[in-house]
Structure 1
Amino acid sequence: MDSKGQTSAEFILLFGGIMVVVLLVIYMYNNYVSDLSGEISSKEVKEFNSQLNSLERYFE
């Protein structure tokens, strides 16, 4: 009987450890995506706006 309780406790600890790792990965991925989106938006939006402004002379 005691070994069943130990096995259950080990599975709970293993599951808890996996959850901690998953939460850390999600947190780091969220920071990465947030930084990346800010970088993309500022660079690509400026380039897109400049290309639109250069096309403006054809529609005046």
Structure 2
Amino acid sequence: MKSMKKFINEESGQGAAEYILLFGGVIVIALLALTIYRSYMETSDKSLKAKDDIIDVRNTILDNRTHV
């Protein structure tokens, strides 16, 4: 009977189980975010290029300076 009470009150593996659940939740959230991001990128009708974006930002800044 003592060994049964000792087994029931044993909590040494509880921390590991909580970490496993925590990391599992983070992984699920990351996979959902990647899925949403992938579908967003696939439906984009404009090709994404950093060089074009930088030129657009510079032109917008220059346009705003001339209007003020």
Unaligned 5+ runs, structure 1: 42-60
Structural mapping, 1:1-60, within 5 Å = 2-36=10-44, 39-40=45-46
| Higher helix fraction (1 or 2) | 1
Q: How many residues align?
A: 39
Query: Displacement, 1:40?
Result: 1.3
What TM-score results when the alignment is normalised by the length of structure 2? 0.52
Q: Which has the larger radius of gyration?
A: 2
Q: What is the letter of the counterpart of residue 17 of structure 1?
A: G
Q: After TM superposition, which residue ranges in structure 1, 4 or more long, deviate above 6 angstroms?
A: none
What TM-score results when the alignment is normalised by the length of structure 1? 0.58
CA distance in 2, matches of 1:6, 1:25: 29
Identity of aligned residues (%): 42
Kindly report the root-mean-square deviation, in angstroms, between the aligned alpha carbons of the 2 structures.
1.7
